[in-house]
Structure 1
Amino acid sequence: MDDIVKAALAKWPNVPHCFGWLGLDARGDWYMRDDGAQAAGPFARAPGDEGRIGKGSRLQHDKLIDFIGRNYAPDEVGQWAFQNGPQRVYVELEAAPHVWRLQPDGSILAHTGQVAGDVKSCLLDEHGRLFLATDLGLGLVHTADMLIASDAVEQGHWVPEDVLFSTLPERWRYVLSPQKRQAEAKAS
């Protein structure tokens, strides 16, 4: 976490959290979701859901993207958030908390630029998406890197386990939609 963020948290410890305004898609892109995008529908479809989605506007400012990446972490219940100064901005996830980019040297980088570490598990969901559990956590392999991933599978470096996508959040302890979770908690 950036020092400036830590200082803001100390100065203003009681700023309300923000839900629904930031999303991470399956390609590792961040999306800003204003009132209109949120009114259009959820950021991503939950398993079994149909209907419109309200993805929002893709962020393209490199320094903002880097700032978000440096201050992106889970809370105690597996909701991922960006700590924006004193305010925690919870992130709507399309698939997983990380999107992996496979490097020519065999290393794996998260969409945030962090090194993923060793692969602990390789998972293939019913949609043909490949997830890797690493030292950094669970992430989805970027679609542009599937050829490299298929080579790793063919060479026996990774052995995919068949999984249902709907089981991943509970199994790997992450929340796809903190906004939906918050709304359900308020309703009960």
Structure 2
Amino acid sequence: MLDFASGGPPHRRRFHLVESSIFALLMLVGCSPTFNWRELRPEGTPLQALMPCKPETATRPVALDGGALNELRMYSCDTGGLTFAVSWLELGDSARVPAALNGWRRASLGAVRVDAARAEDPAAQWSGSVPGAAQALGLTVQGTDYQGKAVQMRALHFVRGTQVYQAAIYGPSLNDSGVIATFFDGLKLP
């Protein structure tokens, strides 16, 4: 005899338990957000940023102003078909800031195979700001990645004291204005 109040015979109840567990697991996986925003506070700087995924870190020596090498620190992650990056370096001398800022903007264009002269092109500019930054310059261009595929870049270079920063998004298409706004609006130098 079947006991409908308890869900049927014991083997049927186990089946429902397994079936319910699998359904719950699938729901959890299906509900995980593509853009899981989290606060980033890079050590050694007052910068606060929002990243849409858990960033990886890297450092390397660079000479963006043609002078001495400085340690560039980068935090980046990939999600939703886009790459998000926040980088910074300490120059130690305010006289080096203008050349380093210009060099970094040119290097950013070179990374997506766009002529460095476009750094001064009004069509490639966008006005961005970062609370607490003394200066902020935006670039937006269409280029190609290292595989020759089309890529769009939207980058913001900004300065506070002797620290120079870059926040950038790269992807085949940068059409989600909400994601772009969340990333760039999350930048603060308190």
In the superposition, the TM-score normalised over structure 1's length comes to: 0.27
Structure with higher Rg: it is 2
Higher relative contact order (CA 8 A, sep 6+): 1
More strand by share: 2
In the superposition, the TM-score normalised over structure 2's length comes to: 0.27
